[in-house]
Amino acid sequence: MHIALNPEEEEHVFHRMYICLDACRRGFLDGCRRVIGLDGCFVKGPMKGELLSAIGRDANNQIYPIAWAVVEYENLSSWKWFLGHVQKDLNIPYGADGWVFITDKQKGLLKAIDNTFQWQSIECVHDTFMQTGEKSIDSRSTKRGFGRLQRQVMR
């Protein structure tokens, strides 16, 4: 767990909090693929903020929590802070070779991934999927489109 205080305040004022339980970290590293979903959502109620999360999928294809954080806003600064902790906890190398990140491309997230992991380029699966000739993503076209995509990649 890491708690950051706001450096601009004279009094100790809560700024951000990051949590990655050791059992979740070890379980993810030992039994899950190197695929991480990243997302943020609003925290409603008297204390406003954003909840950032990093999740994986286990061997039973169930959601597997890796880490989460409460931050002031979903922006480049908070995503870089969060991803820096995730990188350290999971020992993700610069370049992130062999790792896949699934995002909704919100509020600085792609730039934070690029800055944190020093990627040369980031490809969007949706753009690649649309190049297979399908017009939309629904269950039937998804199966056909990803089948074509898989055949192209396997060549």
| pLDDT tens sequence across 53-84 | 999 988 888 889 999 999 988 888 899 999 99
Q: How far apart are CA 32 and CA 142, in angstroms?
A: 24
Q: Kindly report the average pLDDT of the chain as a whole number.
A: 77
63 token code pair: 């959601």
Q: How far apart are CA 102 and CA 155, in angstroms?
A: 24
What are the residue boundaries of the structural domains of the chain, listed by start?
A: 2-121, 123-155
DSSP β-bridge partners for residue 49: 43
Q: Which amino acid is at 21?
A: L
This prediction's pTM: 0.73
Q: What is the mean pLDDT of residues 107-120?
A: 75
23 token code pair: 């059992």
* pLDDT of 28 strictly over 80: yes
